[in-house]
Structure 1
Amino acid sequence: MIDHERDLASLDEATERLLAAVAGLDNVTLAGPSRLPGWSRGHVLAHIARNADALGNVLAGLPMYETSEARDADIERDAPRPHAVQLEDVRGSAARFRERTGLPADWSRTVTLRNGVTDSAARVPFRRWVEVALHHVDLNIGYELEDLPEEFIEREIDFLRRRFSGDPAVAGVTGPPQALVGWLSGRRDGAGLKAPAGALPVLPPL
């Protein structure tokens, strides 16, 4: 059973940690490259903010994004904004999402996410926690996978493994938990991991 209230509390902690880190940045730092190919740190922050609004839409029974093209355009539009504007947007969008989660709701209902993916409404807070935590790492400002809470790492490994459940080669890969999360999420090359066949399997796109 998914404890969405517990996940919301963990999300709050992750959000405050992110906001505190972003508050110490500046315009020059935001314009610098993140760990995501082709994205500046400003792109990452813009995505974090727009994702909060998008998941709020999901809980409201609305389309997550108007279109994929609109999603991408919004990120490009918002990426170059000044530091103060970015920080306030991340903070404000997080508050809007939490306001939405505070409304009476049937958390057992099925909701529709991007690309037609469906899930329980109760898992949306965890999905938001994933966005905040992993993209904090993607900012490349000193927060690493090794800094993530143990509970998060364990649950994210389980979540990602289930996405590749049809590939037994992926299920057989073992190694340090943080390295597994990094590899399964496309953020690390798999150094330190072991596969039964020797070489690590090639992961399909998430």
Structure 2
Amino acid sequence: MIDHVRDLASVRDATERLLSAAAKWDSAAISEPSRLPGWTRGHVLAHLARNADALVNVLAGRPMYVSAEARDADIARDAPRPLGVQLDDVRESAGRFEAQAAVPADWSRTITMRNGVTDSASRVPFRRWVEVELHHVDLGVGYELEDLPEEFVQREITFLTARFAGNPDVPPTWITNGTHTWSTGRRGDAEVTVSGSAPDLVGWLAGRRDGSALTAEGGLLPALPPL
């Protein structure tokens, strides 16, 4: 069962880890490349801030973004700002998200994300946790997939394998870290088993690693569509 209160606490902890790490940068670091193609670290921080505000909209029953174009324009606009301004924005937008989450509401209700994706409101805090943790890794400042909380990694693998389940472009696949096993891909008997460490698996599923550290038995490592 999803515990949105516990997930909100995890979001708070992850945000503080990110802010504490970024506070040690020099002023030039904000304009250096992140691990995301075409994005500087400033783009990543700007996205995190605007994502928090977008999730406020979701919880309040409004469209997540005005449009895809407006989302991209806001990130491009905010990316070049000085480090201190960026960190204040991440902190303050996180506070707005936390305040909206504190408003009494039915957490079992259905909400709408980008591109018409629907989910339970109770999963929104976990979705925000995903944003903060993975984008902390994307900043390329020494926080790696191996540093992610174990609970988070297990849940993110479960979340992503469910996201690819039924996808006609992904063959029926078993995924295992030697302790847990998940299934994903289109319906049918799985012929391919992908094995590896939990960080390598979540990196591959989330598009952060190429899967070269994984082992595929019964066939080739499946090509995954972008998230």
Cα distance between partner residues in 2 of 1:126 and 1:178:
18
Structure 1 regions of 5+ residues with no counterpart?
none
Contact conserved, 1:169 with 1:195, CA < 8 A, in 2?
no
Using the size of structure 1 for normalisation, the TM-score is 0.97
Q: Corresponding residue for 1:200?
A: 221
Cα distance between partner residues in 2 of 1:75 and 1:49:
9
| Partner deviation per Cα, 1:76-128 (whole Å, 9 max, x = no partner) | 00000001100100000000000000110100000000000000000000000
Displacement of 1:164: 1.0
Q: Corresponding residue for 2:178?
A: none
Higher relative contact order (CA closer than 8 Å, sequence separation 6+): 1
Of 186, 190, 194, the residue aligned with 2:207 is 186
What does residue range 1-206 of structure 1 map to in structure 2 within 5 Å?
1-166=1-166, 167=170, 168-169=172-173, 171=183, 172-206=193-227
Cα distance between partner residues in 2 of 1:22 and 1:89:
13
Cα distance between partner residues in 2 of 1:27 and 1:62:
36
| Partner deviation per Cα, 1:133-181 (whole Å, 9 max, x = no partner) | 0000000001000001000000000000001112313643221000000
Residue 28 of structure 1 aligns with an amino acid whose one-letter code is A
**SS state at 1:195 partner:** strand
Contact conserved, 1:137 with 1:145, CA < 8 A, in 2?
yes
Cα distance between partner residues in 2 of 1:135 and 1:197:
33
Cα distance between partner residues in 2 of 1:25 and 1:49:
18
Displacement of 1:25: 1.4
**SS state at 1:111 partner:** strand
**SS state at 1:192 partner:** coil
Structure 2 regions of 5+ residues with no counterpart?
175-182, 184-192
**SS state at 2:89 partner:** helix
Contact conserved, 1:34 with 1:140, CA < 8 A, in 2?
yes
Structure with the bigger percentage of strand: 2
Larger Rg: 2
Cα distance between partner residues in 2 of 1:9 and 1:32:
30
Contact conserved, 1:65 with 1:114, CA < 8 A, in 2?
yes
Using the size of structure 2 for normalisation, the TM-score is 0.89
Q: How many residues align?
A: 206
Displacement of 1:198: 3.8
Cα distance between partner residues in 1 of 2:160 and 2:214:
16
Displacement of 1:204: 1.1
**SS state at 2:44 partner:** helix
**What's the RMSD between the two structures over aligned residues?**
1.0
